[in-house]
Amino acid sequence: MEKGSSLFHSSGDNMNRKMLILLVLTVLLTAGIAGAQDQLPINPAPGYYGTVMVNGQQAPPGTTIIAKIGGEERGSITTSASGSYGDDPGPSKLWVTGYRNEIGSSVTFYMSGVVSLQNSTLTEAGTKSGSILHNPFRGRNRRN
């Protein structure tokens, strides 16, 4: 076959198309992997424990505390003792599911659908001790 035949050019064009497609797929795959890393959950999830007060009194056993990030529920715990949630040392914590791209986001705590007076900042894996003070009359307008 001659160099000028359409079959020869067609073969070269196919090779260029294949290389272009391979390059585009490589770029898309690399971008997808980088984006997916931001969506990796923090492992292990941060755990919270401490004291919990309602209107200046220790919260009773059976009080449920919910943690939210951006209005989305990310964890909850029900107290088993008056005035405290979770334990340290021990496995019982308010485990908050978060993702790497959310580190530094605000964690808001709720009881009975009403926001508490305290919040926290999402950190990498580990445990945090803190008090949750709740005044249902101050928080009524902030239901989520």
Separation between Cα atoms, residue 54 and residue 58, nearest integer Å: 6
In the chain the beta strands, taken as DSSP E runs, fall at: 47-54, 57-58, 64-69, 72-78, 84-85, 94-95, 106-111, 114-121, 127-129, 132-134
Residues 6+ apart with CB under 8 A from 141: none
> Which secondary-structure segment (H or E) carries 4?
none
Tokens read off for 26? 């490589």
Q: Encode pLDDT of 13-29 as tens digits.
A: 777 887 777 877 777 66
The structure's pTM equals 0.67
Tell me the pLDDT tens digit for each residue of 30-81.
655 555 455 788 888 899 999 999 888 999 999 999 999 999 999 999 999 9
